[in-house]
Amino acid sequence: MFSLEKISIGVQTALNNSLPAFWALMAQFAIVGVLVISLFAVLGLVLVFMERKVSAYMQIRLGPNRVGYKGTAQTLADTLKLLVKEGLIPDGADKFLFRLAPYVVMISAMLLMAPIPFSRNFQIWDINIGVLYISAISSMAVIGILMAGWSSNNKYSLLGAMRSGAQIVSYELSAGLSVLSIVILSGSLQLSEIIQSQENGWWLFKGHIPAVIAFVIFIIAVTAETNRAPFDLAEAESELTAGFHTEYSGMRFALFFLAEYANIFIVCAIGATLFLGGWMPFHVGSWSAFNQIMDYIPGSIWFFGKTFLLIFVIMWFRWTFPRLRIDQLLNLEWKYLLPIGLINLLLITVMAILGWHF
Amino acid sequence: MNMESIVFYMLAFLVLSGGIMAVTARKIFRSAIYLLFSLVGIAGLYFLLAYEFLAAVQVVVYVGGIVVLIIFSIFLTQAADSDLPKALRGRKVFSFLATAAGFALVLTQILRHNFIPSGSEPVSTNVTEIGLRMLSTGEGGYALPFEVVSVLLLAAMIGCIVIAIKKPGNS
Amino acid sequence: MGFLKNYIKTVYEAVSSLLKGMKRTGYYFTHHKEIITQSYPDNKDTMILPERFRGEVVMPHTDSNEHRCTGCTACELACPNGTIKIITKFEMTPEGKKKKALDTFVYHLELCTMCNLCIEACPTNAIKMAQNFEHSVYDRSQLTKTLNKEGSKLMEGVE
Ligand code: SF4
Ligand code: SF4
């Protein structure tokens, strides 16, 4: 059976046998770096194409259909265009920060990739505080956005950056609370253990209605955190002309664009890991025959399948709902998501203590 | 020099240079960003010590909280492209002296302290332990400080609401 | 209690209306036959333009090269952007009277917004909207058109 775990172990032993320890470690760093970067590139291409197709079908359009087979090479062509485009820097901009900002956003997205388990024992860094690490690093991306907005020396960018900051900071609370409910249920912050705890069923099903509520809150909050419609006030084309990245062009713009999609992938991967069992195949309590059949599908396929399902849901939101106003946005967070999330957390804690979950 | 010390010196350089640039930069927003580098460097040091929990908390509190707050207050109060006024000579001398005194104090403490080398295994503290300590009332428990801090936070929150709330009939 | 009831009701209504919207887009997503995009230019032969689509102003001529324009300039006056320029001439009627008639109907396609006002203004229904939209040319001057054909004349009985 195809398994990423065996490949990674094979590569590791091969490296350790042929190289001294220090260089083996370096080679591993290099391999991981190349893999992450190429995963990002592929994700960018695939997700942009997916988004364009999904949006097209939802709006009764055809979407890209000329370049390559049924338009599949369209994003490749667009990327080439962005690569050769001139990257302008506005005159009054703070040049250093203007250049730095896209990298801050991108690097924080890359760091988030570290604790995500793609398959059984296939994980860059199985850090023991995985969930906390994720919420810590994801709060770094907002700095990049604020930096970009300020250094552009453009009032629309500044407004966009401020909106985005306010939004991310406030929705982080709800996202954190719903993540916390899974931490309470599984009793661990480590992502691999959280997945292991879902061996006999995913938390979404095992945790009854409170888990479902937590899941819904999580999805809403991460949609807001990734600045996507209906929460895209930060880049609202019609009012702020793309907000914090108004002044960006060429490769720097492409980095922001890529980081947005990478972030979507990451939050969906985290959602899939916490609520849908990550790479864990669909298991039902004690039906061992059924469980065995499910085990034949490799974990990486389960993982990517669930992640893309969530990505699709988030895209579905984007192409269905109109944009919220800033006061509606804050109302939603502080009057609805947060109180409901808190009460829900309480319910889940009671449930976990009494052992009502399966 | 092994891997660890290379990483340590890199992080130390980041922390120190970030700190120095934060106080010398002429643009206040840049100061905030350099401060951010410095704080991230400190988080990196915690990671190097394999104390992931504190590292993550450092990032959550300082990067995600404090620096964002600082940046917001800059956005709301300062013009984007104006330089700060040059510091006065007297203030420069005074701040140099203050820094030197502080540095000397820290240095003497460090030199006088008798460090006990730990084993090669890093001491790991798991989160469960920390959580239990936070709420334990027994020996070495932090229940009282924890609760006091939460009361403090509550007071701060109520204060914010009182300041921000619209008085009825005074729109 | 009333507050709580309201609160739950708001949440319920919000969620259900959002789900309704998602149902609609989900329906479109799965039903590709609803797609209204036409793959122009591949479908040039089978392309269907909506009835009310306006492409340009034309002046229909009969087989005997007659049009219905009297040269009254009502359309020129009605046009909001000076797209139409009517050049008139004087013709001798059989009774020997002088009568104003159309000489050239100049139509600046590049200025036209397809607003249909000229067509509504015309008392004799001499002009109408056509559906041709492939207007691209290499030189702007080619967009200035003369709508009445060479040697055409006013249809009998149109005043
Ligand atoms: S359609 Fe409108 S703009 Fe065009 S010629 Fe007629 S009145 Fe003028
Ligand atoms: S087209 Fe109609 S409105 Fe215009 S000049 Fe001729 S008759 Fe008059």
Q: Which of the ligands is closest to the CA of residue C107? A: 1
Pocket residues: Cβ below 6 A from ligand 1: C 57, 78-79, 81, 83-84, 112-118
Is C60 part of any domain?
Answer: yes
Asked if the structure places residue C49 within a domain, the reply is no
Least distant ligand from the CA of C78: 1
Domain shared by C61 and C32, yes or no: no
By C-alpha distance, the chain C residue nearest A313 is C22
Give the mean pLDDT of C57-68: 86
Looking at the 3D structure of chain B, how many domains does it have?
1
Q: Which residue has the higher pLDDT, A72 or B154?
A: B154
Can you give the pLDDT at residue A285? 67
Residue with tokens 């905030």, as numbered in its chain:
B32
* Most confident of the ranges A81-90, A227-236, C86-95, C113-122: C113-122
d(CA B64, CA A169): 8
Residue A202 has pLDDT above 90, yes or no: no
Model pLDDT, residue B123: 63
Residue B22 in 3-state DSSP? helix
- Average pLDDT for residues B128-153, to the nearest whole number? 84
Testing ligand 1's pocket by substitution, the residue of C77, C107, C116 carrying the most ligand atoms inside 8 A of its CB is C116
B47 vs B39: CA distance, rounded Å: 13
Nearest CA to ligand 1 atom 6: C118
Is A202 near chain B, with CB under 8 Å? no
A218 pLDDT above the threshold of 70? yes
Neighbours of B122 (CB within 10 A): 11
CATH code assigned at C94: 3.30.70.3270
pLDDT tens-digit series, residues A179-188? 888 888 888 8
Per-residue confidence (pLDDT) for residue C47, from 0 to 100: 81
Structure confidence at residue C49 as a pLDDT band (50, 70, 90):
confident
Q: Is the pLDDT of residue C26 over 80?
A: yes
Percent of chain B surpassing pLDDT 90: 16
Query: How many folded domains does chain C comprise?
Result: 2
Closest-CA residue, ligand 1 atom 8, reads: C79
**What's the pLDDT tens digit per position in C123-133?**
888 888 888 88
Would residue C51 count as lying in a domain? no
Is the model's pLDDT at A78 over the cut of 60? yes
B102 pLDDT band (50/70/90 cuts)? very high
Q: Is residue C48 part of a domain?
A: no
* Shortest-distance Cα residue to atom 7 of ligand 2: C69
Q: Write down the pLDDT at residue C94.
A: 73
With CA atoms as reference, the chain B residue closest to A150 would be B80
Same domain, C103 and C67: yes
d(CA C77, ligand 1 centre) in Å: 10
| B57 occurs within a structural domain | yes
Distance from CA of A150 to the nearest CA of B (A): 7
Could you tell me whether strands C153-154 and C128-130 are parallel, antiparallel, or unpaired per DSSP bridges?
unpaired
pLDDT at site B118: 67
Q: Mean pLDDT across the stretch C33-62?
A: 83
CB pair distance less than 8 Å for A320 and C11: no
At least 3 CB pairs under 8 A between chains A and B: yes
Q: Give the minimum alpha-carbon distance from A8 to chain B in angstroms, rounded to a whole number.
A: 23
Distances in Å between the Cα of A101 and the Cα atoms of A223, A305, B35, B38 are: 22, 32, 15, 17
* C112 lies in the same domain as C144: yes
Q: Are residues C7 and C80 in the same domain?
A: no
Which of A128, A140, A146 shows the shortest C-beta gap to B71? A146
Give residue-wise pLDDT tens across range A123-161: 777 777 888 888 888 888 888 888 888 888 777 888 888
Position C41 in a domain: no
pLDDT tops 80 at residue A47? yes
Tell me which residues have their CB closer than 6 angstroms to ligand 2: C 69-75, 86, 121-122, 124, 126-127
pLDDT over threshold 80, residue A15: no
Q: In this predicted model, what pLDDT tens digit does every residue of A270-305 receive, in sequence order?
A: 888 888 877 777 777 677 777 777 777 777 888 888
pLDDT reading at A77 higher than 60: yes
The secondary element (H helix, E strand) that includes residue C99 is strand C98-108
For residue C112 the two structure tokens come to 């036209």
User: Can you name the residues that pair with C146 across neighbouring β-strands?
Assistant: C106
Q: Check residue C134 and report its DSSP letter.
A: -
Judge whether B122 lies within some domain. no
Q: Which residue of A has its CA nearest to C34?
A: A60
Cβ-Cβ contacts under 8 Å, C36 against chain A: 60-61
A141 CB within 8 Å of a chain B CB: no
How high does pLDDT run on average in chain A?
82
- Model confidence at B159, pLDDT cuts 50, 70, 90, reads very high
Which residue segment(s) compose the domain that B60 sits in?
Answer: 3-117
User: For B75-90, what is each residue's pLDDT tens digit?
Assistant: 887 665 667 777 778 8
Residues C21 and C94 in one domain: no
pLDDT number for residue C27: 87
ipTM associated with this complex = 0.76
Residues from B in contact with A at Cβ < 8 Å? 3, 27, 29-30, 33, 36, 40, 52-53, 55-57, 59-60, 63-65, 67-68, 71-72, 74-75, 80-81, 124, 126-127
Confidence of residue B121 (pLDDT cuts 50, 70, 90): low
Whole-number Å distance between alpha carbons of B71 and A210: 37
Q: Does C37 touch chain A (CB under 8 A)?
A: yes
Q: Are A230 and A317 in contact (CB under 8 A)?
A: yes
From the list A61, A320, A340, the residue facing C25 with the nearest CB is: A320
DSSP state, residue C81: T
Residue B17: strand, helix, or coil: helix
A26 close to B (CB below 8 A)? no
What is the mean predicted confidence (pLDDT) over B55-78?
Answer: 83
CA gap C23, C31 in Å, rounded: 12
Report angle CA C93, C98, C104 to the nearest 5 degrees. 90
pLDDT-based confidence at residue A325 (cuts at 50, 70, 90): confident
Q: pLDDT per residue over B29-62, tens digit each? A: 888 888 888 988 998 888 888 778 888 888 888 8
Pick among C25, C35, C36 to test the A interface (most A CBs inside 10 A): C25
Residues C29, C63: one domain?
A: no
Q: How far apart are alpha carbons A243 and A167 in whole angstroms? A: 14
Q: What is the average pLDDT across C94-120? A: 86
Of all protein residues, the one whose alpha carbon is nearest to atom 8 of ligand 2 is C72
- Residue with the two structure tokens 């001139």: A86
Question: For B133-143, how does the pLDDT look when each residue is reduced to its tens digit (9 = 90+)?
Answer: 888 887 777 88
The CA dihedral of A357, A278, A112, A244, to the nearest 10 degrees, is -90
Within a domain: residue B124? no
Residue B69 lies in a domain: yes
Looking up residue B42, the CATH number of its domain turns out to be 1.20.120.1200
Between CA C122 and CA C159 the distance in angstroms is: 12
What confidence category does residue B108 fall into, taking pLDDT thresholds of 50, 70 and 90?
A: very high
Averaged pLDDT for residues A339-349:
89
Q: Hey, whose CA ends up nearest to atom 3 of ligand 2?
A: C122
Q: Span C37-50, mean pLDDT? A: 81
Per CB-CB distance under 8 Å, the chain A contacts of C22 are 316-317, 320
Name the residue of chain A whose CA is nearest to C33's CA: A60
Measured CB to CB, residues of chain A less than 8 Å from chain C are: 54, 56-62, 65, 316-317, 319-321, 336, 340
d(CA A182, CA A132) in angstroms, rounded, equals 12
The count of CB pairs under 8 A between chains A and B is 80
- Chain A CB contacts of B165 under 8 Å are none
* Least reliable range by pLDDT among A218-222, A313-317, B105-109, B134-138: B134-138
Query: Which structural domain range is residue C131 located in?
Result: 56-154
Chains B and C touch (3+ CB pairs under 8 A): no
CA angle in degrees (0–180, nearest 5) for A163-A165-A171: 100
Structure pTM?
0.81
Lowest mean pLDDT among A41-45, A150-154, A170-174, A291-295: A291-295
Domain assignment present for C47: no
Largest pairwise CA distance in chain B = 70
How would you write chain A as a 3-class SS string? CCCHHHHHHHHHHHHHHHCCHHHHHHHHHHHHHHHHHHHHHHHHHHHHHHHHHHHHHHCCCCCCCCCCHHHCCHHHHHHHHHHHCCCCCCCCCCHHHHHHHHHHHHHHHHHHCCCCCCECCECCCCCCCHHHHHHHHHCCHHHHHHHHHHHCCCHHHHHHHHHHHHHHHHHHHHHHHHHHHHHHHHCCCCHHHHHHCCCCCCHHHHCHHHHHHHHHHHHHHHHHHCCCCCCHHHCCHHHHCCHHHCCCCHHHHHHHHHHHHHHHHHHHHHHHHHHCCCCCCCCCCCCHHHHHHHHCCCHHHHHHHHHHHHHHHHHHHHCCCCCCCHHHHHHHHHHHHHHHHHHHHHHHHHHHHHCCCC
pLDDT interval class at B97 (50, 70, 90): very high
The DSSP-derived string for B71-109 is HHHHHHHS-TTPPPPPPPHHHHHHHHHHHHHHHHHHHHH
* Closest-approaching ligand to the CA atom of C86: 2
Residue C147 predicted with pLDDT over 80:
yes
- pLDDT tens profile A241-268: 677 777 787 788 888 888 888 888 888 8
CB contact under 8 A, A128 and B52: yes
Closest-CA residue of A relative to C41 is A66
Q: What is the mean pLDDT of residues C100-107?
A: 86
Share of chain A above pLDDT 90, in %: 0
